[in-house]
Amino acid sequence: MKRITIEPVSRIEGHGKITIQLDDKGHVAGTEFHVTQIRGFEKFTEGRPYYEMPGITARICGICPISHLLASSKACDAIMAVRIPPAARKLRELVHCAQIVQSHALSFFYLAAPDLLLGMDSDPATRNVMGVIAQHPELARDGIELRKFGLQVVEVLAHERVHPSWIVPGGVATPLGVQARDRMLSELQPAKAIAERTIKFFKGALDNYKEEISVFGSFPTMYAGLVDGKGNLRLYDGSLRFRSATGEIVEDQIAAEDYKQWIGEASLRESYLKAPFFKPQGFPGGVYRVGPLGRLNAADRCGTPAADAEFREFHERFGVVAHSAFLYHYARLVEIIYALERIEVLLNDPNILDTHVRATAGVNALEGVGMIEAPRGTLIHHYKVNEEGAITWANLIVATGHNNLAIGRSVQQVSEHYIDGTKLTEGMLNHVSAVVRAYDPCLSCSTHADGSPAMTIQLLDVEGELLDEVSN
Amino acid sequence: MAQKKLSIRIDGQLISAEEGQTILQAAKANGKYIPTLCALDGLTPVGACRVCLVEVSGVDRLFPACTTPIQDGMSVTTNSPRLTRYRRISVELLLIERNHVCAVCVSNGHCELQSMATAFGINTVEFAYNYPKLSLDTSHPRFVLDHNRCILCTRCVRVCAELEGAHVWDLTSRGIHARIVSEMNEKWGQATSCTSCGKCVQACPTGALAEKGWAVEEMVKNLGTVTTLVHRRGVEV
């Protein structure tokens, strides 16, 4: 038996490690995907006043703090038992869509593009965002512009780009002014043009990735995502739907407060990341996937014209249920179009300027659950408080967690396909990392891997003797 | 009867001040800035924070300006490398003693401790953080006490006793174990002498005392109300 370790997995958010067990003939005997850091938010927030939770839990992540602010604020809304003002609901969805745009742009242009454009086997020294800028300056510029647009909308609304304090229990802190609205509208069309250019380019290049599509986490699982009562894709609100691998709706309209009836959480020996599973099918059988691919598989349509056209084409190409994790990249681009269209709809809604944006109340319920679609999938914040409003118990299911089992299986599939014998190549190493990257996991949800990482795979024999080593 | 005038020097400048004034009062009256944290205009000074330390000629040790009365012929230095170092250490010790996590604090951006640290250019501390496990008192219906953010300045104790006349707050224990307590170590919500006036909250320089329901960065203290009330004491309307 020999063991290969990939640590850290690069160009993802957070720190992860992969170990690959080889048998005596050099075939893959088993793989494990490890998340190597522990955060402890659920424990150290005990005793804090519930209304501090959005600010505290936002620090889980620097890429998508808006997701945690929203899920946490929704849980607080439930504890206060308030219905937030309609304008606040729209402003929250607006800032969320802007965050989806910037986060998806980060994943596609900064983290995935080096693999997709420069080649999985290309020189690791330049296989990073700087390499993309050198070889595909137009596309790199588009990526930077698109991310800038998303972040600027966040800044205009929330006054800060990262960790704003604008999203609060009961609504949002300040209303939207006419000038700010008009500024965002004026910058929307160039962003939409970039999104359309990029998806056209990606679709044109799909034939280059036939092998990846067939082996990158390409296996049947269930999918989950938020939808409205008509089956339209929803990001901020909506109820949870599970769709089976063959396309049937398994469960629909699951309210946030009922998540525990359907989602179990297993602890894994090899990882600090828990593995949520679909309860009726048990562990580890109840594998499902969330995130862009999960959402496009769970929903019947997007609900906006351009995104719907892309949604139909996506499913015409890959079936009612698309199973390859490689298609997360594709789904991410469809969702950028959807988010930009939603931004336009929301900004053109006259009610968005309403000045009543915050509901106030004390503790009216001792438990609250908030659920949204973060860029990487369904995010659940669940709090219990005492009558004074102090947190007594908290449970967070962070989006990447749902995909934990599927990422593990994808690593296994890619390893089996690309690794054989005892000689390692850097390209092999990168294929294994790239399938993890396809899920765009946010492992620590707050640290960032460097663009040109120090990644090492070691091949050890039974006695622990180093047979081979590759690093970049 | 007019107060006796004393002549002192502050940073070399000859100043005429009234007998009974503290160095801080004399300095303020003459437009000289001395940084303070625990002092609140109109309340009895206690010299708790050691941020207002000054040098007095002829004496080697440093004096807190807020509690030291002026003497005729005294020569005071309010700014020197030595004072900067000691003031900085005082603020750093406040920062490391408890859990001041500005990023997630309701008073972020409106905190006197934070402003003082910024003014002294403190972006790292030279001592190890203490990370004590401290409790919150959430029992009051409108306010919350977070010991993690308390710097033991005792402004709350003094404003409640001297201005509101309720004397809900006090200090218990000594040194690093010292805590603000309401009444005889009762839960704040059970303190029958508390009038819920909120003066302690407004006087608190950090997020230790705050109104319930405000999210991160939202707790803006209105110190002006407290100082205005302080100066109205004894004034017939």
Three-state SS across chain A? CEEEEEECCCCCECCEEEEEEECCCCCEEEEEEEECCCCCHHHHCCCCEHHHHHHHHHCCCCCCHHHHHHHHHHHHHHHHCCCCCHHHHHHHHHHHHHHHHHHHHHHHHHHHHHHHHHCCCCCCCCCCHHHHHHHCHHHHHHHHHHHHHHHHHHHHHHCCCCCCCCEECCEECCCCCHHHHHHHHHCHHHHHHHHHHHHHHHHHHHHHHHHHHHHCCCCCCEEEEEECCCCEECCCCCEEEEECCCCCEEEEEECHHHHHHHEEEECCCCCCCCEEEEHHHCCCCCCEECCHHHHHHHCCECCCHHHHHHHHHHHHHHCCCCCCHHHHHHHHHHHHHHHHHHHHHHHCCHHHHCCCCECCCCCCCCEEEEEEEECCEEEEEEEEECCCCEEEEEEEECHHHHCHHHHHHHHHHHHHHHCCCCCCCHHHHHHHHHHHHHCCCECCCCCECCCCCCCEEEEECCCCCEEEEEEC
Q: Using one digit for the tens of pLDDT, what is the confidence trace for A276-309?
A: 999 999 998 999 999 999 999 999 999 999 999 9
Check whether residue B42 and residue B138 sit in a common domain.
Answer: no
Taking CA–CA distances from A171, the nearest residue in chain B reads: B215
What are residue A445's phi and psi, to 5 degrees? Answer: 60, 25
Check whether residue B158 and residue B190 sit in a common domain.
Answer: yes
Q: Does B111 touch chain A (CB under 8 A)?
A: no
Task: Determine the straight-line distance between the first and last CA of chain A, rounded to whole angstroms.
Answer: 25
> At A460, is the pLDDT very low, low, confident or very high (cuts 50, 70, 90)?
low
Task: Give the containing element (helix H, strand E) for B15.
Answer: strand B13-18
Among A31-35, A396-400, A414-418, B105-109, the range scoring the smallest mean pLDDT is A31-35
Mean pLDDT of chain B: 94
Assess whether pLDDT exceeds 60 at residue A446: no
Choose the mutation target among A92, A388, A392, A446 for the interface with B, i.e. most B CBs under 10 Å: A388
CA distance A75 to A108: 30
What percentage of chain B has pLDDT greater than the value 70?
97
CA distance B87 to B81: 10
Task: Give the containing element (helix H, strand E) for B90.
Answer: helix B81-97
**Does any domain span residue B93?**
no
**Does any domain span residue B84?**
no
CB contact (8 A) between residue A362 and residue B212: yes
Assess whether pLDDT exceeds 60 at residue A188: yes
pTM of the model: 0.90
Assess whether pLDDT exceeds 90 at residue A436: no
Say what the pLDDT of residue A372 is.
Answer: 98
Q: Using one digit for the tens of pLDDT, what is the confidence trace for B171-200?
A: 999 999 999 999 999 999 999 999 999 999
CA distance B82 to B117: 17
CB atoms within 10 A of CB A282: 11
Chain A closest-CA separation from residue B24 CA (Å): 37
- Residue, of A166 and A447, whose pLDDT is higher: A166
Say what the pLDDT of residue B147 is.
Answer: 98
Q: Does A61 touch chain B (CB under 8 A)?
A: no
CB contact (8 A) between residue B141 and residue A163: no
Q: Does B58 touch chain A (CB under 8 A)?
A: no
CB contact (8 A) between residue A52 and residue B217: no
Q: Does A48 touch chain B (CB under 8 A)?
A: yes
Say what the pLDDT of residue B193 is.
Answer: 97
Contacts 24+ apart (CB under 8 A), A33-38: A33/A270, A33/A271, A33/A404, A33/A407, A33/A408, A33/A411, A33/A436, A34/A270, A34/A271, A35/A271, A35/A272, A35/A273, A35/A404, A35/A443, A35/A444, A36/A7, A36/A271, A36/A272, A37/A272, A37/A443, A37/A444, A37/A447, A38/A272
Choose the mutation target among B99, B101, B102, B104 for the interface with A, i.e. most A CBs under 10 Å: B104
> At A472, is the pLDDT very low, low, confident or very high (cuts 50, 70, 90)?
very low
Say what the pLDDT of residue A262 is.
Answer: 96
Q: Does B147 touch chain A (CB under 8 A)?
A: no
Check whether residue B148 and residue B50 sit in a common domain.
Answer: no
Q: Using one digit for the tens of pLDDT, what is the confidence trace for A93-145?
A: 999 999 999 999 999 999 999 989 998 888 888 888 899 999 999 999 999 99
**Does any domain span residue B110?**
yes
Q: Is A64 exposed, middle or buried (0-12, 13-18, 19+ CB in 10 A)?
A: buried
Assess whether pLDDT exceeds 90 at residue A454: no
CB contact (8 A) between residue A55 and residue B212: no
**Does any domain span residue B107?**
yes
Assess whether pLDDT exceeds 50 at residue A371: yes
Q: Does A41 touch chain B (CB under 8 A)?
A: no
Assess whether pLDDT exceeds 70 at residue A466: no
CB contact (8 A) between residue B103 and residue A362: no
Q: Using one digit for the tens of pLDDT, what is the confidence trace for A64-99?
A: 899 999 999 999 999 999 999 999 999 999 999 999
Q: Parallel, antiparallel, or unpaired: how do β-strands A249-254 and A377-385 relate?
A: unpaired
Assess whether pLDDT exceeds 80 at residue A192: yes
Assess whether pLDDT exceeds 50 at residue A449: no
Would you state the CATH architecture of domain A38-408? Orthogonal Bundle (1.10)
CB contact (8 A) between residue B215 and residue A54: yes
Q: Is A455 exposed, middle or buried (0-12, 13-18, 19+ CB in 10 A)?
A: buried
Q: Does A392 touch chain B (CB under 8 A)?
A: no
Among A138-142, A381-385, A397-401, B144-148, the range scoring the smallest mean pLDDT is A397-401
Q: Does A168 touch chain B (CB under 8 A)?
A: yes
Assess whether pLDDT exceeds 50 at residue A219: yes
Question: What average pLDDT does the segment A167-179 reach?
Answer: 97
Choose the mutation target among B138, B187, B209, B212 for the interface with A, i.e. most A CBs under 10 Å: B138
Check whether residue B74 and residue B104 sit in a common domain.
Answer: no
Check whether residue B108 and residue B213 sit in a common domain.
Answer: yes
Assess whether pLDDT exceeds 70 at residue B27: yes
Q: Which of B21, B47, B79 is the last residue of a domain?
A: B79
Q: Does A144 touch chain B (CB under 8 A)?
A: no
Mean pLDDT of chain A: 90
Who among B136, B213, B217 is closest to A360 (CB)? B213
* Chain B residues close to A163, C-beta within 8 Å: 103
Domain boundaries of chain A, sorted by first residue: 38-408
* Chain B residues close to A48, C-beta within 8 Å: 136
Chain B closest-CA separation from residue A161 CA (Å): 14
Q: Are B200 and B90 in contact (CB under 8 A)?
A: no
Chain B closest-CA separation from residue A374 CA (Å): 21
Task: Determine the straight-line distance between the first and last CA of chain B, rounded to whole angstroms.
Answer: 23
CA distance B215 to B206: 15
At B55, which CATH number? Answer: 3.10.20.740
Q: Does B212 touch chain A (CB under 8 A)?
A: yes
Q: Does A47 touch chain B (CB under 8 A)?
A: yes
Check whether residue B209 and residue B121 sit in a common domain.
Answer: yes
Say what the pLDDT of residue A12 is.
Answer: 77
**Does any domain span residue B91?**
no
- Please report, to the nearest 10 degrees, the dihedral formed by the alpha carbons of residues A324, A21, A436, A225 taken in order: 60
The contacts of residue A247 (CB under 8 Å, 6+ apart) are A320, A321
Question: What average pLDDT does the segment B115-123 reach?
Answer: 95
Give residue for tokens 């929203």. Answer: A70
**Does any domain span residue B92?**
no
Q: Does B133 touch chain A (CB under 8 A)?
A: no
At B127, which CATH number? Answer: 3.30.70.20
Check whether residue B104 and residue B219 sit in a common domain.
Answer: yes
Total structural domains within chain B: 2
Choose the mutation target among B217, B218, B219, B220 for the interface with A, i.e. most A CBs under 10 Å: B217
Chain B closest-CA separation from residue A388 CA (Å): 6
Say what the pLDDT of residue A37 is.
Answer: 74
Assess whether pLDDT exceeds 80 at residue B74: yes
Q: Which of B79, B108, B138 is the last residue of a domain?
A: B79
Q: Does A56 touch chain B (CB under 8 A)?
A: yes
Contacts 24+ apart (CB under 8 A), A148-152: A149/A98, A149/A101, A149/A102, A149/A187, A149/A188, A149/A190, A149/A191, A150/A98, A150/A99, A150/A100, A150/A101, A150/A102, A150/A103, A150/A105, A150/A191, A151/A98, A151/A102, A152/A184, A152/A187
What percentage of chain A has pLDDT greater than the value 70?
93
Choose the mutation target among A43, A51, A82, A172 for the interface with B, i.e. most B CBs under 10 Å: A51
**Does any domain span residue B89?**
no
**Does any domain span residue B237?**
no
Element counts in chain B: helices (H) and strands (E): 6, 10
Chain A closest-CA separation from residue B142 CA (Å): 9
Most confident of A205-219, A337-351, A389-403, A458-472: A337-351
Check whether residue B212 and residue B171 sit in a common domain.
Answer: yes
* Chain A residues close to B144, C-beta within 8 Å: 49
Check whether residue B60 and residue B172 sit in a common domain.
Answer: no
* Chain A residues close to B216, C-beta within 8 Å: 52, 54-56, 165
Chain A closest-CA separation from residue B146 CA (Å): 9
CB contact (8 A) between residue A168 and residue B104: no
Say what the pLDDT of residue A467 is.
Answer: 65
Chain A closest-CA separation from residue B138 CA (Å): 6
CB contact (8 A) between residue A165 and residue B216: yes
Assess whether pLDDT exceeds 70 at residue A23: yes
* Chain A residues close to B136, C-beta within 8 Å: 47-49, 390
CB contact (8 A) between residue B136 and residue A390: yes
Burial of A185-222, coded b for 16+ CB within 10 Å and e otherwise, reads eeebeebbebbbebbeebeeeeeebeebbebbbbeebb
Q: Does A305 touch chain B (CB under 8 A)?
A: no
Say what the pLDDT of residue A451 is.
Answer: 33
Assess whether pLDDT exceeds 90 at residue A271: no
Assess whether pLDDT exceeds 50 at residue B66: yes
Check whether residue B108 and residue B56 sit in a common domain.
Answer: no
Q: Does A388 touch chain B (CB under 8 A)?
A: yes
CA distance A449 to A11: 6
Q: Parallel, antiparallel, or unpaired: how do β-strands B63-64 and A288-289 relate?
A: unpaired
Question: What average pLDDT does the segment A346-359 reach?
Answer: 98
Check whether residue B212 and residue B110 sit in a common domain.
Answer: yes
Taking CA–CA distances from A390, the nearest residue in chain B reads: B138
> Which domain does B152 fall in, by range?
99-230
CB contact (8 A) between residue B104 and residue A56: yes
Check whether residue B118 and residue B219 sit in a common domain.
Answer: yes
